[in-house]
Chains A and B, each alone.
Chain A
Amino acid sequence: MRAIWFVSQIALFGLIASRMMSIPNYFQYYVAGLSVMTLYSAAIFIGFDIYEEAEHGVFEYLLSLPVSRKQLVLGRSIGGGLRAFIYVGPLIALSLYVIGAINPLSFLVALFALFLFSFGVSGMSITIAVIIKSSDRFDILMGVLDALIVRLSTAMYPLAVVQAANPLYGGLASFNPVTYAADLFRWGTGIETMTLSNPLWPLLGIIAFFAFFTFVGVIIYDRRIEGGGWQ
Chain B
Amino acid sequence: MPPIIQIQNLTKKFGNLAAVDHLDLEIEEGEILGLLGPNGAGKTTAILMLATVIKPTEGTALVGGFDIRKSPDKVRGLLGIAFQEPKMLWVATPWDVVNWHAKVCGLSTEERKQRVKQVLETLDMWEPRHKNVHALSGGMRKRVEMAKVLIQRPKIAIVDEPTTQIDIVGKHKIWNMLLELRDEGSTIILATNELYEADRLSDRVCIMHRGKLLVCDTPKTLKDSILGGDIIDIQLEKDASPTVVEELKSFKEVVDIMQVKPTNLRLYLNRVEEVVPQIMNLLMKKNVPINSIRMSEPSLDDVFAHYTGLTIEEAQKDEG
Contact = CB atoms under 8 A, between A and B. Distances in A.
A226 B54 contact: yes
Interface string B116-145: 000000000000000000000000000000
Given A57-B83, A228-B12, A228-B14, A64 B53 contact: yes
A66 B77 contact: yes
Contacts of B79: 64, 66
Interface residues of B, number: 23
B161 to A, nearest CB: 14
Contact of A226 (B14, B55, B105): B55
Contacts of A64: 51-53, 76, 79, 81, 83
Nearest to B81: A64
A61 B89 contact: yes
A61 B48 CA distance: 10
Most chain-A CB neighbours within 10 Å: which of B81, B87, B88?
Answer: B87
A68 B73 contact: yes
Given A66-B105, A226-B52, A226-B54, A58 B73 contact: no
Contacts of B85: 57
B77 A60 contact: no
Chain A's interface size range is 10 to 19
Contacts of A226: 52-55
A66 B87 contact: no
In this complex, which of A58, A60, A61 has the most chain B Cβ atoms within 10 angstroms of its Cβ? A61
A158 B115 CA distance: 58
Contacts of B104: 65-67
Given A63-B53, A226-B52, A226-B53, A58 B12 contact: no
B106 interface: yes
B76 A227 contact: no
Main secondary structure of the interface of A (DSSP, over half): loop
A226 B12 CA distance: 12
A19 interface: no
Interface string A42-80: 000000000000001110110111111100000000000
A229 interface: yes
Interface in B3-18: 12, 14
B105 A65 contact: yes
A60 B76 contact: no
Contacts of A56: 87-88
Nearest to A53: B90
Interface string A206-227: 0000000000000000000011
A227 B87 contact: no
Contacts of A228: 12, 14, 54-55
Nearest to B152: A66
Contact of A229 (B54, B81, B87, B106): B54
B74 to A, nearest CB: 9
B89 A58 contact: yes
Closest 6 pairs between A and B when the two form their complex, measured CB to CB: A61-B87, A226-B55, A63-B53, A66-B76, A68-B73, A66-B77
30 contacts: A56-B88, A57-B83, A57-B85, A58-B87, A58-B88, A58-B89, A60-B48, A60-B53, A60-B83, A60-B87, A61-B83, A61-B87, A61-B89, A63-B51, A64-B51, A64-B52, A64-B53, A66-B76, A66-B77, A66-B79, A66-B104, A66-B105, A66-B106, A67-B76, A67-B104, A226-B55, A228-B14, A228-B55, A229-B14, A229-B54
Given A60-B48, A67-B104, 12 more contacts: A56-B88, A60-B83, A61-B83, A63-B52, A63-B53, A64-B83, A65-B76, A65-B105, A66-B106, A68-B73, A69-B73, A228-B14
